[in-house]
Amino acid sequence: MSVTVHEMNCDPEDVFAVLADGWVFPTWVVGASRMRDVDDAWPTEGSKLHHSFGVWPLVINDETTVHEWDPPHRMVIRPAGWPLGEALVTIEAKPRGGGCVVRMTETAVRGPSTLIPRPVLNGMLRVRNIETLRRLGYVAEGGKTKREREGE
């Protein structure tokens, strides 16, 4: 299990506003390259994102399913990117000072990635997830700044 934590200069509601917009998924998830479709019910439990990962022309179609949606506290998703396998990803946000702290926990749960020794896999996931949370922070903080400028 890989755990990554990142402080952001926005509220948990700003983070969950980004998570609720499935079309921006490739903006903040490292490796996601394009969106193909977003279920109308996104992000309710059982709804899916249909996206691809990789660099063109070597892209693999993937889908991510919501397992839990409790804004602005917790989201649990299950990305399925075969032939690599499936993961369970939990994103949690808590207020801290004038912003929030976001914690991402990722565990390989099915497929070949479960055969990679845990310390090796967790190290690779941690490096990727540091950048993923950095990007999520940029998008969430930018949304807050925009709303503040517009007087919402």
Give the angle subtended at the CA of 70 by the CAs of 64 and 74, to the nearest 5°: 70
Question: How far is 38 from 55, CA to CA, in rounded Å?
Answer: 21
DSSP strand E in the chain: where?
A: 2-8, 32-38, 48-55, 58-70, 74-81, 85-96, 99-110
- Residue 27, domain CATH: 3.30.530.20
Does residue 121 carry a pLDDT above 90?
A: no
Other CB atoms within a 10 A radius of the CB of residue 82 amount to 13
Question: How far is 100 from 12, CA to CA, in rounded Å?
Answer: 6
Other CB atoms within a 10 A radius of the CB of residue 146 amount to 10
Structural domains counted in the chain: 1
Supply the pLDDT for residue 113. Answer: 81
Question: How far is 80 from 100, CA to CA, in rounded Å?
Answer: 29
Does residue 92 carry a pLDDT above 90?
A: yes
Domain extent, residue 129, equals 2-149
Confidence grade of residue 145 (pLDDT, cut at 50, 70, 90):
low
Comparing 25-29, 76-80, 108-112, which segment has the lowest mean pLDDT?
108-112
